[in-house]
């Protein structure tokens, strides 16, 4: 029985890694994937482990294990080094003592296998078949979106959050932008859980915050790297302050999943539409001031969107293009998203 192993940081796990693991599976009877996580890295070990387990769900011949280490004890290097390989090979011998095969796409794989006294198979060291690196993805996930497995994409979704007071067109613009960029979107939970902006309790806002976060976390991933979000937790906090003079005590996880890469704030320079459930125009404008104060208090930087409906769409598209697609060669991904 041939047991093999693959190791890496998987920061993030990408389709190059996936191809290597699939190849390794074809060369052995059982494969161990070691996720090496240092104390200096920001993506949690369980997140990386989850990416791999989700991608290879149902593969009985594969196990994913995490090795947590201190960088002061196990040095890292992008260069092939016999000295560094000797240190790592000793640890690998402890972790996978019964493995007789190592598969890598790096030159140092030969050193590690030599020190361990096992066979090494190098796969696509020049990255010709899957021309991607984890560094390139971290630097620009939008430009390299196609190289992310489905399990990894939610982590790198670029969130565009539309904010503003009532009756400023947030919901409509959210849907229009999502359609334009072929992206997923999340509508505000408040309109579904609170029928009338003039009649609700503080506890209702807790329900809104929880439900909105649930929608963001569980939104299906589309082919686009963008996710458009109508309203966020800071606006819910603003309602609590404006209507009740209180702040919601919310877990940090809600703020984390709401966090956007681009915030668009819709000015209240469009006609107030009263459908019988909204605040009065005077209160709408006072709420606008509350929203802005709340965003400032939480350190949220935003871009102002104003003018008529067409102008708002044009301004939003220009900011999205500048923020996410300016570094893409020939703006490839913007073109793909608009197809």
Q: How many Cβ atoms are within 10 Å of 270's Cβ, its own excluded?
A: 16
Note the pLDDT tens digit of each residue in 214-229: 999 999 988 899 999 9
Note the pLDDT tens digit of each residue in 7-16: 999 999 999 9
- Going by pLDDT thresholds of 50, 70 and 90, the confidence category of residue 275 is low
* Residue 335: predicted pLDDT: 47
Share of the chain above pLDDT 90, in %: 79
Is 330 a residue whose pLDDT tops 70? Answer: no
31 or 127, higher pLDDT = 31
Is 159 a residue whose pLDDT tops 90? Answer: yes
* Residue 272: predicted pLDDT: 60
Which CATH architecture group holds 157-338? 3-Layer(aba) Sandwich (3.40)
Alpha helix ranges (H) inside the chain: 15-26, 45-55, 82-95, 108-116, 134-139, 153-156, 170-180, 190-193, 202-217, 233-244, 252-258, 281-297, 309-320, 332-338
User: Which option is the CATH number for 3-140: 3.40.50.620, 3.40.50.1220, 2.30.30.60, 1.20.1440.230?
Assistant: 3.40.50.620
Whether 157-338 and 3-140 are alike in CATH topology: the answer is: yes
Q: How far apart are CA 268 and CA 285, in angstroms?
A: 7
| Eight-class DSSP state of 220 | P
pTM of the model: 0.86
* Residue 124: predicted pLDDT: 75
The residue extents of the domains of the chain are: 3-140, 157-338
For 330, residues 6+ apart whose C-beta sits below 8 A from its C-beta are none
159 or 79, higher pLDDT = 159
Average pLDDT estimate for 238-264:
96
């Amino acid at each position: 029985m041939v047991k093999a192993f693959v190791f890496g940081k998987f920061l993030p796990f990408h389709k190059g890694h996936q191809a290597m693991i699939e190849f390794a599976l074809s060369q052995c009877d059982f494969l161990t994937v070691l996720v090496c996580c240092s104390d200096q890295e920001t993506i949690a070990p369980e997140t990386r482990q989850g990416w791999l387990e989700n991608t290879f769900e149902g593969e009985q011949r594969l196990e994913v294990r995490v090795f947590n280490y201190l960088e002061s004890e196990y040095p890292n290097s992008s260069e092939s080094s016999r000295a560094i390989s000797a240190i790592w090979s000793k640890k690998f011998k402890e972790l996978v003592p019964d493995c007789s095969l190592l598969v890598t796409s790096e030159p140092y794989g030969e050193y590690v296998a030599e020190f361990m006294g096992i066979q090494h198979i190098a796969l696509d060291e020049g990255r010709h078949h899957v021309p991607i690196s984890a560094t390139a993805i971290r630097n620009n996930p939008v430009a390299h979106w196609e190289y992310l497995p489905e399990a990894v994409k939610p982590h790198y979704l670029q969130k565009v959050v539309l904010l503003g007071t009532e009756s400023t067109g947030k919901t409509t613009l959210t849907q229009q932008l999502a359609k334009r960029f072929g992206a997923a979107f999340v509508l505000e939970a408040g309109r579904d859980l609170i029928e009338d902006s003039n009649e609700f309790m503080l506890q209702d806002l807790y329900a809104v915050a929880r439900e909105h976060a649930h929608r963001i976390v569980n939104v299906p991933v589309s082919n686009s790297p963008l996710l458009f979000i109508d309203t966020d937790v800071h606006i819910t906090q603003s309602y609590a302050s404006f209507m009740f003079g209180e702040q919601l005590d919310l877990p940090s996880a809600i703020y984390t999943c709401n966090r956007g890469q681009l915030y668009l704030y819709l000015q209240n320079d469009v006609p107030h539409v009263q459908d019988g459930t909204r605040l009065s125009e005077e209160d709408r404008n006072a709420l606008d001031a509350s929203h802005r104060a709340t965003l400032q208090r939480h350190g949220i930087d935003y871009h102002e969107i104003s003018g008529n409906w067409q102008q708002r769409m044009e301004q939003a598209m220009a900011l999205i293009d500048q923020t996410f697609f300016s570094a893409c060669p020939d703006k490839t991904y913007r073109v793909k998203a608009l197809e």
